[in-house]
Amino acid sequence: MTKLPQQLVFGLDIGTRSIVGTVGYKNSERGFVIVAQSIRFHETRAMMDGQIHDIEKVAETIGVVKRELEQKIDRKLTEVCIAAAGRVLKTVETSCELEFEEDTLIDPEHIRTLVAGGIEKAYARIKSENSDEIFSCVGHTVVRYFLNGFLMTNLESHRGKKISADIIATFLPQEVVESLYAAVEKAGLEVADMTLEPIAAINVAIPGNYRLLNIALVDVGAGTSDICVTKDGSIVAYGMIPKAGDAITESIMQAYLVDFDTAEKIKLATGKKKEIQYKDIMGTKLKVSAESVKETAEPVVSDIAKQVSDKIIELNGGKPVSAVFVVGGGGKFPTFIPLLAENLGIAKERVALRGAEVLDFVTFPEDGLAKDSTLVTPIGICLNYYEAKNNIIFVTLNKERIKLYDNGKTAVMDAAAKVGFPNDRLFARTGKALNYTFNGERRMARGEMGDAAVIKVNGKLASISTIIGNHDEITIKDSTSGKPARLTLADLKEAGESIVFNINGKDVKMPRLFMANGKPVGEDYRIADGDSIVRKDFYLVSELLTALDMERPSSIEVNHVAANPYDRVYENFTVDIRV
């Protein structure tokens, strides 16, 4: 046997009908090299619609695959990469923004803070909509960034007053993840990496340069049809319908009175033979034409194609995509692709089964399987180990033990988001603002800035961007709010301004007068929230006399006209006072 490299990747595609095990490694010259493969079908309906129902049975089948692969490579396998089905995947599309008081140089910490806010919003929405279930965030995609409202591909090192982003966060129920882990662990394996089946498939079937186009990927498995949509270089939506290849098989069972395995064989032969031999449950040997099988299954296949096309249009903003790539065994039924194209209203040449042509970079063993669409997801699971390295780690946050999906850049922020730690308890908070009006204009005085949260990782001071690893201990002491805003009239820029009157032939500067809520106040007056402050542009005669300490003049004229105490004196008015 050819000497194998030290590091091999073991990937398991734990499907509804079968478990596919793949062992291989990356090679700069030969791409991804598969050194061994094993496929085992479930002996019972231990899985349905992508969900494990019998952990013990699934663990047994995983154990069979594991032992067969170990014999082929003459090496023990201890770690495995897996993927979760999209049947129970929930996605939340949200947006987030971060504003600064002045033009600011955007650094990675700002971007992390921005994204953390988006994930927190998505997590809060999931919790509010699913109060009876616990969900885990298993990944997020930034669809697009904005700087001061303008679309940007990268925010770092730009300057701006506002940054924002559109984000897709993906969540799975905790029990789904736990059942996968339990089955794998019972088979004597540890999870080295976990991804989602639609992500594994798209990483093989739609290369990055294709994602500039508006394309959908449909992974038609046994129990579910998972869907991804790409546009402008990003994955913009995930979705699924809970119907796939098994529904076709079940329609054949009913029509020809056969068991599930026989119906599955009839289905697979429909695209390869003109006439198919089978034995029904009565033991009678019979023949049926492939055309008859197609006609029998047509209502179910048509329904699946309609549901998939409707979901694609929904995910794509109400319109069909430009093209569709199909992978998975269920998509190989002969009439599926034409019906999907018809329902989408696009040319049938733009809906294609992806198989051998996207696996050119994969080297298969000489006795291995032929390259086809059923292997796209299993190989994608292995490749994800190199691309994303989503290892599972356990950390404690404020003494609570949590599980995280580590992509090599997992930070304190991710742990905080996982437990729903509020964003405003991480970052320094300003004290209560003071809102008031000045001459009818709305004004606000900001409170003082408080202290940021005190974060420690393994006893050492850290920040929200500190990278964390397995078994790290994190403590977060809540941030604090600063003192509320405090403001007196003397603090206003208008304080200290003068108004000039001509008094007895001389220009005299007098301080401006202020009113708070209709009452005269001095510059030591402390402004309260909601106050209406008015700066007067005149003095009453009585106020002027009091300020000049001339309260009992023998006569007073304003602009050479006899005045009374309530007359107004505006700037540059002439005032003659006789004592």
Q: Is the pLDDT of residue 30 over 80?
A: no
Alpha-carbon distance values, 303 to 143, 248, 405, 455 (Å): 31, 10, 36, 54
Helices marked H in 130-259: 174-186, 197-205, 245-256
Residue 18: the pLDDT is 83
Angle between helices 260-270 and 245-256 (to 10 degrees): 110
**Same domain? 249 vs 286:** yes
Q: Is residue 245 domain-resident?
A: yes
**Sign of the torsion formed by the C-alpha atoms of 56, 62, 64 and 67:** negative
Residues 473 and 499 in one domain: no
Q: Looking at the domain assignment, is residue 211 inside a domain?
A: yes
Is 261 found in the same domain as 136? yes
The answer, yes or no, to whether residue 400 has pLDDT greater than 90, is no
Residues 287-310, mean pLDDT to the nearest whole number: 94
DSSP 465-510: T-B--TT-EEEEEPP-B-PPP--BGGGSTTTT-EEEEEETTEEEEE
Alpha carbons within 13 angstroms on the beta-carbon side of residue 211 total 16
Residue 50 is predicted with a pLDDT of 65
Regarding whether 300 and 158 lie in a shared domain, the answer is yes
H or E element in which residue 242 lies: none
Q: What is the CATH number of the domain that holds 326?
A: 3.30.420.40
Q: Which of 3-12, 303-312, 556-565 has the lowest mean pLDDT?
A: 3-12
How far apart are alpha carbons 260 and 161 in whole angstroms? 62
Map residue 568 onto helix, strand or coil: strand
Same domain, 472 and 532: no
Q: Read out DSSP for 72-98? A: HHTS---EEEEEE-GGG-EEEEEEEEE
Flag whether 191 is in a domain: no
**Residues 327 and 428 occupy one common structural domain:** no
Section 494-507 average pLDDT: 89
Is residue 33 in some structural domain?
Answer: no
The answer on 272 and 319 residing in a single domain is yes
The CATH number of residue 496's host domain is 3.10.20
CA–CA dist 574, 302 (Å, integer): 94
Instruction: Taking each helix axis as running N to C, give the angle between helix 197-205 and helix 376-387, from 0 to 180 degrees, rounded to the nearest 10.
Output: 90
Please identify, among 477, 502, 518, the residue that sits at the C-terminal boundary of a domain: 477
**Helix, strand or coil, per DSSP, at residue 291:** helix
The 10s digit of each residue's pLDDT in 361-372 is 777 776 555 666
Which strands form 574-578's sheet, in the order they lie side by side? 506-511, 498-503, 574-578, 555-558, 561-562
Residue 54: CB atoms within 10 Å: 16
Give a yes or no: residue 521 inside a domain: yes
Are 301 and 259 within one domain?
A: yes
Cα atoms in the 13 Å half-sphere on the side-chain side of 433: 8
Q: What is the 3-state secondary structure (H, E, C) of 332-366?
A: HCCCHHHHHHHHHCCCHHHEEECCHHHCCCEECCC
With 0-12 / 13-18 / 19 or more C-beta atoms within 10 angstroms meaning exposed / middle / buried, residue 370 is exposed
* Span 6-33, average pLDDT: 84
- Phi then psi for residue 108, to 5 deg, are -55, -35
Q: Quote the mean pLDDT of the chain.
A: 86
Q: Find the Cα–Cα–Cα–Cα dihedral 58, 64, 67, 70, rounded to 10°.
A: -80
Q: For the residues 463-468, what does the mean pLDDT come to? A: 87
Copy the structure tokens of residue 316.
């794509």
Query: Is residue 92 domain-shared with residue 233, that is, in the same domain?
Result: yes
Task: Name the least confident of 44-53, 65-74, 259-268, 303-312.
Answer: 44-53
pLDDT for res 392: 65
β 454-457/473-477 pair status: antiparallel
Which of 534, 543, 540, 541 minimizes the C-alpha distance to 555?
541
Rounded Cα gap, residues 352 and 52, in angstroms: 30
Please tell me the predicted confidence (pLDDT) of residue 199.
Answer: 79
Domain end point (choices 477, 498, 513): 477
To 5 degrees, how large is the angle CA 60–CA 66–CA 70?
145
**What are the beta bridge partners of residue 22?**
11, 37
Spatial separation of the C-alpha atoms in residues 533 and 513, rounded to whole Å: 11
Would residue 41 count as lying in a domain? no
Output the six-digit token pair for 441: 């204009």
- Residue 68, helix vs strand vs coil: helix
Mean pLDDT of the 529-546 span: 91
Q: How far apart are CA 405 and CA 470, in angstroms?
A: 11
State residue 309's pLDDT score.
Answer: 95
CATH of the domain at 435: 3.10.20.30
Structural domain harbouring 133: 87-170+201-356
Contact 46, 58 (CB under 8 A): yes
Same domain, 126 and 268: yes
Closest CA to 201 of 190, 183, 215: 215
Residues 464 and 494 in one domain: no
In this predicted model, what pLDDT tens digit does every residue of 274-297 receive, in sequence order? 999 999 999 999 999 999 999 999
Q: What is the pLDDT of residues 54-94, one digit of tens each?
A: 889 999 999 999 999 999 888 899 888 888 876 677 888 88
CB 243 within 8 A of CB 225: yes
Considering its fold, how many domains does the chain have in total? Answer: 3
Q: How many CB atoms lie within 10 A of CB 317?
A: 11
The domain boundary residue, chosen from 477, 507, 530:
477
Least confident range of 237-246, 282-291, 475-484:
237-246
Length of the chain: 579
The packing angle between helices 336-344 and 290-315, to 10°, is 40
Which residue in the block uniquely carries the two structure tokens 């005032």?
575
Residue appearing with tokens 């339990």: 182
Residues forming beta bridges with residue 14, ordered by sequence position: 19
**Alpha-carbon Rg for the chain in angstroms:** 36
Residue 34 lies in a domain: no
Letter for the amino acid at 11? G
348 to each of 299, 324, 351, how far by Cα in Å? 19, 10, 5
Which phi and psi (to 5°) does residue 265 adopt? -65, -40
For the chain, give the percent of residues with pLDDT over 90.
32
pLDDT at residue number 501: 92
Q: Which residues, 6+ apart, have CB-to-CB distance to 362 below 8 Å? A: 31, 32, 33, 34, 371, 379
Lowest mean pLDDT: which of 66-80, 392-406, 463-477, 544-558?
Answer: 392-406
Same domain, yes or no: 464 and 345? no
- Average pLDDT score over residue span 327-356: 89
| In-domain check, residue 437 | yes
Distance between CA atoms of residues 35 and 271, nearest Å: 29
Tokens of 494: 């208008």
